[in-house]
Structures are given as structure tokens and as C-alpha cells.
Structure 1
């Protein structure tokens, strides 16, 4: 067997391939792929997290919108009435939620001008003043003997002074009268349907109740409501 010369072995070893080297281009491309993959994953996460947050906000807005539009008629109703009297203006906050039917009737009458020129027919000092078209004592008749006693009681949320109401007895629009309490009345809810509270002009109410009256609690001088202005807010 012929022996291979050392020079030939050297030439054959040079022909053998050495270990493969990773080129710079390959490293750069791999790095870019990794960076793009991470960026894509991050962008996807941001997109879905923002979408989830927006959906939650929209759901909350819808729920709030549904609650605010459950009764659009009620929300559109004026919330305040300003009674312009000979002594000054009295601002009343209307109880649209607790007395909706009476408030609806009151607002309708205001728009028809029912209260324009209406007189305060009876004034019981430190108790109640009554405005209406009828000159009969009516609902205040059985209150007069209790007036002094009740006026000494402390006010409460349920029967406090400066509340606006009308009689509970069924009546047509012509018989719709206004009662403004000037002192706590323990049995107020038995007498009246309260549908408002004086929030400005308590001093005007007190001026009206200080007018001179006869033995039937009728003011000796004419005093009444000139007009009523309705407002959404004050």
C-alpha cells in the first residue's frame, strides 16, 4: 500500500471545512426579528387592554345614561317656581319625585296663568298662609285652635316650616289652592299634599304672615301673587 506523503496530507487538511461562523448580518437580522416580535406582542397587549378599558367605560356610560333617561319627562320638568308677590319673590323647590302628579298639575296651572293675581285669602300668624280663589276658610278652619300650640314645637324634616302644599281632597284646577306653612305642623301630611319647599324668600313669607287680619284670618289689605316664573335650576 502506497504511503501518502506529508505534503499531500497537509493539502488535504486545508481542503477540509472548518467550523461554520455566524455572520454579522445574521446576528443583526435575528436581533431585528426578536425586537419586532417583542414590539408586536407589546402593541397587541396595549391594544386589547385599551379596548377592554373603553368597553368598561362605555358600559358604565350606558348604565348611567339609562338611569338618567328612565323618565325623560320628569327630568325635563322645571325644578323651581318663583312666586312674585306684592312683598317680594318666593323661590320654591318642587318635589318632582315625591309628588309627581301634584307637581304636574301645579306646572300646568302655572303655564295657564292660574296663579297670576291670586290673593292670599287667609293668614294664620306663626302657622300657615293660604292663597286661593275661594274666600272660604276651608282646610284651615280646624287648624286655627291648634296654631298657637303647634307653633311652639321644634321643626322636623317631615313637618317643618316653609313648606308648600295643597289640600289632599280631590279638586279640579279651579280649586287648586296654595298653602305655605310658617311653623312646624305635626299633622301636616294629614292636611296637605306637600310638593315643595321654600329655599329663598322666607323673609317674604314672614312679612306676609305679619299683615293685619280680621277675626276670620282674612288680610285687611289686599296682597297676592302677581306671577309665577318656572325654572330648571337656580
Structure 2
């Protein structure tokens, strides 16, 4: 067997025990991988963060848009109604902010011609004039007369206010009341949804007509038609 020289054994031992060297190319490769992973994580964070912010802003924008749309729809409704009566015109400013549902119903009925030809069938001086369906007028007359005893005791319910009776209305049950004096007793009976701004003299002229013992006018006085207006 051939003998290995000591110098060759020493060199062979150094090659086995010496630390292995990592090339510069390998180091750069791993650095590039770490850089790409870090960039990907940062980009993902930015993407989801911006998406969450945009969704939140979009939700707020939609909510504000709904409110704006509702406000715009409300402002598009007619703000005034002109009651053309056989005694003259009465201009009403509608309270569409404080009684929106009643104003909506009133406008709808005006557009359908519900009030055309409607008679004022109850006239109580210094109290109220009423137009509408006079079926069952006795009950209405009763509470009107009871309220009249305490009519001028408060300013809660002003004169020349337009209202309708509370409760659900049937097709013909939307009656109209115009007060001719401050009447607090009607606060629990009527929903006020408008105010006379012109034509108080016409209301007073209707109020002064002769009536029978049941407060029914002896001559026919009615609403010829109702005109809706945005401005007057």
C-alpha cells in the first residue's frame, strides 16, 4: 500500500475542517428575497388600509346623500295652497316640516281633486269654520260646542290655522278646519298643518254668514278648487 505523505494529510485535514464560505451572489440573492417580501407586506398593508378608509368614507357619503336626497325631496313639495272659495281666495302656508305626513296626504288629495266643491258645513263664530264630509256632524258639533266654552283662555292654538281631525282618514274623511280665534281645546282634536297668510278677511266673511241652530250655513259656501304653489 502506498504511503500518504504527512504534508498531503495536513492539507486534506484543513479542507475537511475549514469553515465553508458563502459566495457574494448567494448573499445578494437572499437580500433581494427579503426586500421583496418586505415590499409585498408593506404594499398589502397600504392596500387594505386604504380600502377600509374608502369604504368608511363611502358609507358616510351614502348616508349624507340619503339625507340630502330626503331634504331635497321635501323641499320640492309645494309650500303653499290657495283655497279658491265662493267668497274669495285663502292662501295657506303649509307646515311641511312639522307635519310632513299630513301635508303629503293633503297634497295628494288636492291633486286628485278631493276638495273641489267641498262645502263649509259648520260655522261657529269666534271659533272655527269646517269644510268636509258632514256625515256625523252631530258628534263634531258637540265637541266644538264644549270647546267653545273655554275658547279664549290661551294662545296655544292661534287663529287662522289650518288643521284636520286626528286619526286615519278614509277616502272622504279628510276634513279642513280653519280657526278664527286662539282655541287651545283643539290641540287634542286637530293636527295643524298650515296657516292662513292671506285671505283672513275671506275667512271672517265666511264666519259671519247666517247659520241655523246647528251652526250650518243657510247659504251654500264651498271650495271651488285648490291650487298648489311653490311660492306666492
TM-score by length of 2: 0.68
What RMSD, in angstroms, separates the aligned Cα atoms of the two structures?
A: 1.9
Pair 1:233 & 2:217 matched: no
Q: Write the mapping of 1:117-196 to structure 2, written as runs, cut at 5 A.
A: 117-137=117-137, 138-147=139-148, 149-150=150-151, 152-153=152-153, 156=155, 158-196=156-194
Gaps of 5+ in 1: 1-61
The answer to which of 169-178 and 191-200 deviates more is: 169-178
Alpha carbons 2:92, 2:197 under 8 Å: kept? yes
> Higher helix share goes to which structure?
2
Alpha carbons 2:147, 2:186 under 8 Å: kept? no
Correspondence for 2:220: 222
- How far residue 136 of structure 1 moved from its aligned partner, in angstroms, is 2.9
Gaps of 5+ in 2: 1-60
Pair 1:73 & 2:52 matched: no
Pair 1:202 & 2:200 matched: yes
- How far residue 72 of structure 1 moved from its aligned partner, in angstroms, is 2.0
Distance 2:84 2:203 in 1: 11
Alpha carbons 1:123, 1:219 under 8 Å: kept? yes
- How far residue 133 of structure 1 moved from its aligned partner, in angstroms, is 2.2
Distance 1:110 1:70 in 2: 22
- How far residue 171 of structure 1 moved from its aligned partner, in angstroms, is 1.7
The answer to which of 134-143 and 113-122 deviates more is: 134-143
Distance 1:107 1:70 in 2: 17
Give every structure 1 segment of 4 or more consecutive aligned residues whose post-TM-superposition deviation is greater than 6 Å.
none
- How far residue 147 of structure 1 moved from its aligned partner, in angstroms, is 1.7
Alpha carbons 1:161, 1:184 under 8 Å: kept? yes
Distance 2:224 2:93 in 1: 19
Pair 1:116 & 2:106 matched: no
TM-score by length of 1: 0.67
Alpha carbons 1:134, 1:175 under 8 Å: kept? no
SS at match of 1:227: strand
Q: Write the mapping of 1:14-163 to structure 2, written as runs, cut at 5 A.
A: 69-137=69-137, 138-147=139-148, 149-150=150-151, 152-153=152-153, 156=155, 158-163=156-161
Distance 1:135 1:70, change over 3 A: closer
